[in-house]
Amino acid sequence: MFKHILESIPGVSIWPIIALFLFFAVFIAMIIYVMRMDKSFINYMGDLPLDSSESSKNGDLKNGQKTN
């Protein structure tokens, strides 16, 4: 039933291709973003759940970022 409905829409075959390219574009953009991140910030964020110091409880951040 759904196959017949989709077949009646003109140009419907382009949407899966657009969705695939959009998925890969976002995926590649995220890979580039993660590769360009500051390694010390990644290490800090990775150690944050294990840190029990008072500064982490207050929400202080390293690398010059201000808290609210």
Q: Which of 51, 47, 68 is nearest to 59 (CA)?
A: 68
User: What is the distance between the alpha carbons of residues 22 and 28, in angstroms, rounded to a whole number?
Assistant: 10
65 versus 13: the higher-pLDDT residue is 13
Give the model's confidence band at 64: pLDDT under 50 very low, under 70 low, under 90 confident, else very high: low
- Measured distance between the N- and C-terminal CA atoms of the chain, rounded to whole angstroms: 55
Q: Which of 11, 65, 12 is nearest to 38 (CA)?
A: 65
Per residue in 6-59, pLDDT (tens digit) is 778 888 888 889 999 999 999 999 999 999 999 998 899 888 888 777 554 555
Identify the pLDDT of residue 49. 87
